[in-house]
Structure 1
Amino acid sequence: KLVVTNALGCVDTSVINDVVCGGMQPTVNFDATPVDACIDSDVSFTDMSSPYVDDWFWMYGDSTFGFSQNPEHEYVDTGSFDVTLTAFHHGCSYTFTKEDFIHTLAPKAKFTLERLCNNPYDIALESTSVGADEISWDFGDSGTSMDTSSMILTNYTYQDTGAYVITLVAHNFTTGCVDSAMVDYYITDPKAEFSFEVTEGCIPLTITPTNNSVFAQEYEWYSSNGSFSQTDIAQPAITFSEPGSYVEDIHLIITDINGCKDTLDYSGEIKANGVTTDFSATPPVGCQPTAVQFQDNSSSLFGNIVSWNWDIGNGLLTSTDQNPSYNFDTTGVFPVMLTVVDDWGCENTLNVPEAVSVTKPFAKFKGDTLGCTVMEMSFLNQSHGTGLTYEWDFGDGTIATDKNPTHEYLTEGIYTVCLTITDANGCTDVFCRNDYVTVANPIAGFASDTTSASCPPLIVNFENISQNATTYKWDFGDGSGSTSIENPIHVYTIPGVFDVTVIASSNAACQDTFTIENYISLDGPEGQFDFEMDSPCIPAEVMFYAESNDFYTYIWDFGDGMLDTTGFKMADTVAHQYVENFDVIPTLILVDNQGCSRSINSLDSIS
């Protein structure tokens, strides 16, 4: 008993009864009756071992065994045999052997049988009995008076097929024992026989022989040309997948229960008829719209085509004519399916997924429309189609074949551009853009309402007289920058003589520049000044120095509300004290004797 308790206090118990047994080695002995016996007689064995023995194991000496306490055993051959008994008590054992204990007495009846397949009713027998003083045969053919024999070697001829029991009885005069041997035997006369009810038809043609063979246990079918071989089937299916006339030598070999064979050879013509579906389309490729003529080219090996069923373009046209036609008015790749039947009833279908191709290319393009004679103009192809080739006519006598060409016109003018495309089927389309390209070189030019003044400011209205241009860039010569206004107004504030330039463009590649040197002349005082400051701390003393190109009145504006005016001179030096915190820009005003004044601002501020 095992008791198990876990950490939670749960308990389980397992009990196995008689798990350990203690045994004693037994005393072993036995006897048998009779110890001298004829073959196939029952020999009774008696256990004489200790009474507490619980298992027995007998070895009879003829490679057989037993496990009961007092067994019976039949010996099937002559000889002397050792007998061994092993007795057990709770696993403890002891073995005891009696040598040459049992003697089986002659005779032992045995014989061999030979059948001659070429004489299926004849058998040859030979007695191989042991210890036989006399033998007798019984051939089991009760219907004849010649059914017995006492010869060791004997032949017998049966009158009919059937199942027979052949018996050999052997006698030994000394022992008085008799033994017999029996064999169940079948007399057969195998005959291979078959025929074909169907020998022609449509592929796949399957023919099945009618098998009338007798006494066949195994079958082997084959053809002389190796096209067919099959075993273990009485009526095989023979299939001809390809059309043709087959002169077949078909053979059947049967084997009966005794291993004897018979063969039947069949020779005859088998016609496997087939229909070959074929057609042509003229033309197979074309341009929308296109008329296509279909020509049936089908054939039958042994018959004649008698019906046609066309499906053109997945239902665009169904026809039972032999050679129909159809006008394709849409583009695409069209399948064609033809089913034909011959006068044998054989049928075949051909489906060509891409039998007819109808195309219509679509030409289109866009490109640069305004250019000049030094510009390469680009054209973008927007055409649709398969396997396209291109021919561009730029209207100036030149041709290009690129998909997306560039072209440089050498002469100004207005040009019509045409694109001709051709697809893989030879179909074409032409697309023209009339008066599409204008080639004109820009010519820059300008005029103005005034070009000079004696005193700033000078306000000038410029008139743009450029040609073949869409954009403009002006430079007024006074460092004031540029403008893109077509007809600008510009104010000159600094005396001087100025060049004026306009750049006229039709695009980035086409432009012209027009400049008039010394076009603007503006008179008036010219001068400059500077200053020095020792310390920025107030009160701050600043010295101003000025000079001019002529005699002017100097008016100083110090930026802190204080002014200083000096007489008519070409240079001036003044001092000024700043007494408050300021960030000021001083200004010098020059005034000539005509009253024309000009203000000059300092480039730096005073802090």
Structure 2
Amino acid sequence: GKTCANKYEVTFTDTVSNTIVLEWDFGDGTIVNTGVLNPITHTYTPPQKIYLVKVTRRDTITGMITTGQKNIIIIDEKANFVPDITDICQNKIVNFSTIGIDSSKIRTYVWDFGDGTPRFTINNQAYFNAYGTWLNGNTSHNYTTNGTYMVKLTITDKLGCIDSMEYPLPIIVKGPVVGFSATNLTTCDPLQTVIFTDSSAQNGATPIVEWRWNFGDGTPVYVTTVDTPITHIYTNAAYYNFRTVSLTIRDAIGCDATVSKPNYVRGYRPKADFFSYDTIRCNNYSVFLYNYSSAYNATYTWYYGDGTSSTGYYGSHTYAFDNLYDIKLVAVDENGCRDSITRPAYIKIIKPVADFKIGDTTQCAPAAISFTDSSKYAIAWEWDFGDGGTGSTDKNPAPHIYALPGFYKVTLIVRGVNSCTDTTFKWIRIRGPIANLTTTSLSGCKPYIFQAKVTGSFIQTYAWDFGDGTPVNASLSDSVINHTYVNAGKYLPNVVLISPEGCPYTIKVVDSVIVDSAMALFDPLTNVFCGTGSVTFNDLSVTTHFSSFTNYSWNFGDGSPLHTTATPPAHVYGPGSYNVSLIVRTQYGCIDTFTKAVAVLVHPLPVPAIVGDSIRCQPGNYTYAANIVSPDAVNGYEWRVNGSLVATTPTLNYFFNAGNYTISLRVRTVNNCYGQTQRNIIVDSVDARFSVPDAERCANDLTMLFTNLSGSFFGISSYAWNFGDGTTSTVQQPPLHTYPGYGVYDPRLIVTSVHGCVD
């Protein structure tokens, strides 16, 4: 441990448990190994330095010797600095520089400049933490007042130890003391004459040699070397004119002093003004008056023209009667300067009166009619031209176009201030026939009869144009017509009406007359089959380009359910002849039917069968016949044995060796329809044989050996031996047989194959 009182004395304590300190090496050449070693105090000699201290210890349990070491830093920084100048004029800056201080060991620098200003602290540690750089503590200070000042620097090191130094020489600040006074500092006049008198005092025996006057009104600085009263004339153009006046003096040794007096000279020129959004109002309306005056810290009085008044920045008044009222505003500023303004008949409490003039109405429709507003006291207009179209909010709207002849009620609503309204209307007639056209249904199938009727007034002639090329002729009586459209299409009939004044007017039907048509048609892609047929029908039905089919009804002619889509799925037919029909319906209700006779023809298939035995017991020439069921004549045969074509005749005659065979028969009718069948047959071979050595014996040798030599292509399933002496056997190879006595015997063997063939 160390203390600020004795920075070079350090107490060391070894804190490792279960050990005994044997020796200390304090890093300055001193080694101690006797006496009390833990703790121990050592005093280093100046100057400050970093020492590596080592301790040697023995473990009391294991007896092991260990060492420990640590750096000891001795900090002993001294405050020291020097100013760059000590003798200055007022408002000069002195620079202070530290000397011989290791900035990395300093926590703070505190400067006391001796002139009563707050102490200046430089937090060196905080700056290093933020920016990674140590500050050297240098600073500067501006002295503004004459005097003698002692400057002191206090430093605090990293350990919190403090050291200070007061510079042995004072900072001496000298110079003149500046001051002035003036007369006529406030006025209401446009021109203001002010006399300025210098009251500065020189420093000791040093005289003042120059005066610089800044009058604060933008005029050039006035410089003089003579201390006499100065007269300056101000022009007061604004409603308030505040001037900051400054005087700078300089003495014979070059020291300056400046004084500035803010808003020292004041010229007032108030200007009263106001406006209102409520200049025209109706009924008992509260009028609000906005103050637009230019006056400094003023009071205001409002006179409302009806004998009443009020004070305040804004004016507000409710009038009881309709009239025209003069408004007066009086403004008095803080200096007592006064101005007023009066606006005659400024407030008008009146109601609007709606009226308008109509332009030329002798035109034929379509006619552009002009309307001119002649209302009084209106600020908003709402026109309704009576034809159901868009009105107008213009005072004098653009001429309104009336597309149709007729009578129209034109209405004008005007609005005055605070929503007072007045309404007026006038009737006008737009020349031309006034008519209405009614029709029957506007769609149907050709030929279609179109019926229409015109009713109304001011009609002299009718001229119908049906849009299909029929000649157009004017008539005095064709108000009701029946016209037949023979061709499909879209038509827009109209009638041209002429009024007695000669004004034409054309009426068209509200929508096109639609004359539709339908033609059902289809084509089966394939229509002749054998046995069964899957038929796809291609719809070829036709209607007009503006219409479409909404319903389909397919009748496939075989009793199956009707189908209702434009493209039905493939339909499967059995043998027979079928008539197919299609019914179509368009969106306008036109229906057509198309029936195709024998649209699908399916011939029956022949059904052949092979007649003959399935099992033959010996190879040989065998015949197989064809048994065919077919309503159609058969004119072709194909016989195949094991896949090879062997005959094209109605019967098969073929030599078969022993083995397995597949006989197939394919027949063709006169309609090129084919039927096919096949049959499996077996041709077996069996041979019963045996041998007897020495078949003729003497009586004493009655035992015989029979050797079975039988064979079969597919194998033998049973054996039947008869030895001719009444004994038998069913084994394949019997044991030795002994006859009972002399005689002649006829032994016999019967064998049966696996397919039942016997030999």
Normalised TM-score (structure 1) = 0.46
- Bigger relative CO (Cα 8 Å, ≥ 6 apart): 1
Q: Give the strand-richer structure, 1 or 2.
A: 1
Structure index of larger Rg? 2
